[in-house]
Amino acid sequence: MKNPILVALAILVSTVSFAQKKELRTAEKAIKNNNYAEAKSALNQAESMMSEMDEKQKSQYHLLVAEALYAQGTANDTDLNKAIESLIKVGSDYESESTELTTTMENELLTKANNLYKANSFSEAGTKFEQLYHVVPTDTTYLYYAAVSAVSAQDMDEALKHYLELNKLGYTGITKEYYATNKETGEEEVMDKTNRDLFIKTGAYIKPGERLTESKAGEITKNIAFIYVNLGKSEEALEAIKQARKQNPTDVNIILTEANLQYKLGNKDEYKALIEKAIDLDPNNVDLFYNLGVLSAEAGYNDKAKEYYNKVIEMDPTYTNAHTNIAALILGEEQALIEEMNGLGTSAADNKRYDELKEERKALYKEAIPYLEAVLEVDSENLEVSKTLMNIYSAIANTEKYKQMKAKVEALGG
């Protein structure tokens, strides 16, 4: 009884094997005829027989699935992702075919990704760059471009995912670039080695050279910190900033990022120390002095704040925010004078003190005027500043300028 059973089993195995080959041949023929629907149908039937396939048949199956789903570049993102997953599983028996399809996918996806990015379709470009990375996982530059695209699309969660992966992989982005000087323009140009060497031979270019590009590791760590800040993840942001500062201890932007985060967390002493450190590193950075002025004013150190704002104005006379803020500090001193004036009686001494306070108030107005006028020299349509000046001119009885400013306010719709 055993022999008939063995014969039956042998027949069954050969039948399954024949069915596998039939479905794979059907799919292969359909793909050649661009009939991808038929190919997918045949491959779906073959999938149920995967356990009976040998390694060569499995490689062929995965290659055909990739080709059918890719459909010569017409696949939607879902099918394309499945095609890439299948392509990765192709074994050595179909290495040349998988390499050819990989190259085709890479070239077509790169063209699409670049065109989308140039068209400001950053989210779609990021998807294509990520797919490129999965097609060619050895080229982590594609993952970097996916992160950059996500940032441009303001998709911070997606950007963070890519940057964290790049950080984990130890990506630096360092490449060797070749350059030469154009004799006609005198400008140095970067190009690939083959063209550079050719242009040197023709004599059109001189002074050939090569160099390594700067590492992007610090930029990636910094961007991780920035994104955590934007996402409101303070603890993760501080940890990322700590790592970024280790890599770039003199990067003023990283120091400012930590300073701003410390300020948001209410750590004003740390904020001030970091701002002052940044100033030591970059004493000509006008924004640093402005930020320190804001901090000093928030802490109630008005004299120090004025000092920083005046430094800003000295460095950049058109920095309107500094003019506005220092005027606000000056006019803010008016409140104490008003309160004292309102608390006075009607005695001779009180009347005398009232007149003194009135003059002090007028002096504050006169001190603020140049800063407010400076704002209008740069921003002539600033309605709020115009209103403030109008009221000040009225208070100090400068009728001519009051009328001028009143007309301006009305013209601005105030």
- 72-93: pLDDT as tens digits: 999 999 999 999 999 999 989 9
Q: Could you give the CA distance from residue 109 to residue 129 in angstroms, rounded to a whole number?
A: 8
Q: Could you give the CA distance from residue 357 to residue 337 in angstroms, rounded to a whole number?
A: 6
CB 189 within 8 A of CB 180: yes
| DSSP letter (8 states) at residue 346 | S
Q: Could you give the CA distance from residue 412 to residue 293 in angstroms, rounded to a whole number?
A: 30
Coil, strand or helix: which one is 378? helix
Dihedral angle computed from the Cα positions of residues 331, 335, 336 and 338, in that order, rounded to the nearest 10 degrees:
120
Give the pLDDT band (50/70/90) at residue 235.
confident
Give the pLDDT band (50/70/90) at residue 276.
confident
Tell if the pTM clears 0.85, that is, is over it: no
**What tokens were used for 289?**
């002095």
In this predicted structure, what is the pLDDT of residue 12? 42
CB 321 within 8 A of CB 293: no
Could you tell me the end-to-end alpha-carbon distance of the chain, in angstroms, rounded to an integer? 107
Q: Could you give the CA distance from residue 85 to residue 350 in angstroms, rounded to a whole number?
A: 88
CB 308 within 8 A of CB 279: no
Q: Could you give the CA distance from residue 169 to residue 162 in angstroms, rounded to a whole number?
A: 11
pLDDT digits (tens, 9 = 90+) for 300-336: 889 989 999 999 999 999 999 999 999 999 999 988 9
Q: Which domains does the chain have, with CATH numbers?
A: 14-90 (no CATH), 176-212 (no CATH), 284-411 (1.25.40.10)
Q: Could you give the CA distance from residue 159 to residue 166 in angstroms, rounded to a whole number?
A: 11
Look at the chain and count its residues. 414
CB 385 within 8 A of CB 373: no
- Of 328, 325, 295, nearest to 309 by C-alpha is 325
Q: Could you give the CA distance from residue 70 to residue 82 in angstroms, rounded to a whole number?
A: 9
CB 177 within 8 A of CB 210: yes
| Mean pLDDT of the region 22-32 | 87
